Chain A
């Protein structure tokens, strides 16, 4: 019983990596994830990754921001301390719109950033979890969960055939724990 946890195929060319994905899929070998130093068009569809739900988070945060400030301004200027500004009614909705808009944008943008950090485990002071350090530099990495997958040698030779420049059998999932 080998102690290999993950098999990594390192490619130096995105097209060959896409080829490699095709090959693994043809042999029904499940792919754990793929790491690339730059975005590659069409890869989400190929790997069957679900659409990001970040947009929904942004919408909800925007609604929250808008409601918060509108309530606050209503409380300040209508309920708590009504002021006569140019003879306008106290509850002059058009005057409230710019600040409502700004807070919607502010909450949506901060909310999106924090949601993204949360879902990708990026926090200040925490080392990012990386399966191979060169995936952020010049290598296109396909990761395969070794557990329960057909003979590791077969996977290795498949990756080699597809043009992987290096194949790693890693005993630990991430190379950069804390």
Chain B
């Protein structure tokens, strides 16, 4: 079979797409500024949500590459540049997340006690464990439970861990990109073998640290509560949202006239992964819920109690509808995975759905039912981050000399992929 694809074509980032992404960034900046002015704490919660989401999607790109190399998968060889571009964006995402977390921890917040006269210094984010008074014996705000956890949950160690995860993921991701670029220039198996080893190392590090990353960034907002399922539940969200973004970008790139070699078979595979891992997400979500529901221990049930407040309950249910029922029913049939408009709709549903998933994790633990809101701040911040991601992704993609790893040993298999 002959293929008439020009592999030396480069992506050109210009026109409407660039304008729209820049407009979205400006909208985001305005919304964030407005948010800080209107309600600082809620804005911090939103920034954490979007920063975490943004980072997770980029990590999912590195994970995708590593998984394909470690499994020696052939079908994905011709689409690898998309997740590789995610890996290139990851350092920026990581820097933004660390900045948001640092600002959240070091920005003081005045907390008025019930008596109404005493003000205690709190923090914008991680207020259950980050303020010094909580772990200082004799202080009014002293909390024995949190003090007992302070060996792990203290500010310096928290940042050391955060930096370790994100630097490790970023460096390994960039190494995969580097070896793939070298492979383009030199050919041969040397770089593929290197990529395989890097991937194996990444998967081992990722497997052990990704639950901790979720524990630190999100679960420690509810510092009294803990769940061992939480890490994998977050991983499932990371992976499903990452796959949805990869698929959506591939569909958009195809529409723009690039990636002409990506057939409906490749999209079918991605659709299968999205479908399968949405079920996996539901499985973990439910496994966490059922054990807590069944045991009914107050310390554990507190998490769902907070999310069961009337302000959050409709969102709580909507979360399951959007992230389980929608992909389950939309993506189940083979034909719908092969119909590009349907797949695109499913991607958009899942991307919004996982925003809601993170919203349900973060908001009850930060602003609480009284401070909850959904308005300009939420939509604007999300738009800003979406624009930033789009801008950085397409810029990174346009830097690649070719849109396909030309000398990838499985490239022909991928070009003739058929299911």
Chain A: residues with CB nearer than 8 A to chain B? Answer: 41-42, 51, 55, 59, 86-88, 94-95, 97-98
Chain A nearest CB, measured from B140 CB (Å): 36
By the criterion CB–CB under 8 Å, are A95 and B334 in contact? no
In Å, the complex CA distance between A162 and B334 comes to 35
By the criterion CB–CB under 8 Å, are A98 and B290 in contact? yes
On chain A, the residues within 8 Å of B160 by CB distance are: none
User: Across the two chains, which residue of chain B brings its CB closest to A87?
Assistant: B296
Shortest 4 CB-CB distances between A and B: which pairs?
A41-B418, A94-B293, A94-B290, A42-B418
By the criterion CB–CB under 8 Å, are A55 and B334 in contact? yes
Interface of B is mostly: helix
By the criterion CB–CB under 8 Å, are B418 and A97 in contact? no
Chain B nearest CB, measured from A92 CB (Å): 8
Chain B's interface size range is: 10 to 19
By the criterion CB–CB under 8 Å, are A86 and B333 in contact? no
If A42-B418, A97-B290 touch, whether A86 touches B334 (CB-CB below 8 Å) is no
In Å, the complex CA distance between A167 and B386 comes to 63
By the criterion CB–CB under 8 Å, are A59 and B294 in contact? no
Chain B: residues with CB nearer than 8 A to chain A? Answer: 286, 289-290, 293-294, 296, 332-334, 418
User: Across the two chains, which residue of chain B brings its CB closest to A59?
Assistant: B332
By the criterion CB–CB under 8 Å, are B294 and A51 in contact? no
In Å, the complex CA distance between A98 and B294 comes to 12
In Å, the complex CA distance between A97 and B286 comes to 9
On chain B, the residues within 8 Å of A95 by CB distance are: 290, 294
On chain B, the residues within 8 Å of A59 by CB distance are: 332
By the criterion CB–CB under 8 Å, are A51 and B334 in contact? yes
Chain B nearest CB, measured from A102 CB (Å): 12
User: Across the two chains, which residue of chain A brings its CB closest to B332?
Assistant: A59
User: Across the two chains, which residue of chain A brings its CB closest to B283?
Assistant: A101
On chain B, the residues within 8 Å of A55 by CB distance are: 333-334
User: Across the two chains, which residue of chain B brings its CB closest to A42?
Assistant: B418
On chain A, the residues within 8 Å of B286 by CB distance are: 94, 97
In Å, the complex CA distance between A94 and B292 comes to 11
Contact for B289 among A42, A86, A88, A94, CB less than 8 A? A94
In Å, the complex CA distance between A64 and B289 comes to 26
User: Across the two chains, which residue of chain A brings its CB closest to B417?
Assistant: A41
Contact for B296 among A41, A86, A97, A98, CB less than 8 A? A86
In Å, the complex CA distance between A51 and B338 comes to 13
User: Across the two chains, which residue of chain A brings its CB closest to B295?
Assistant: A86
In Å, the complex CA distance between A86 and B301 comes to 14
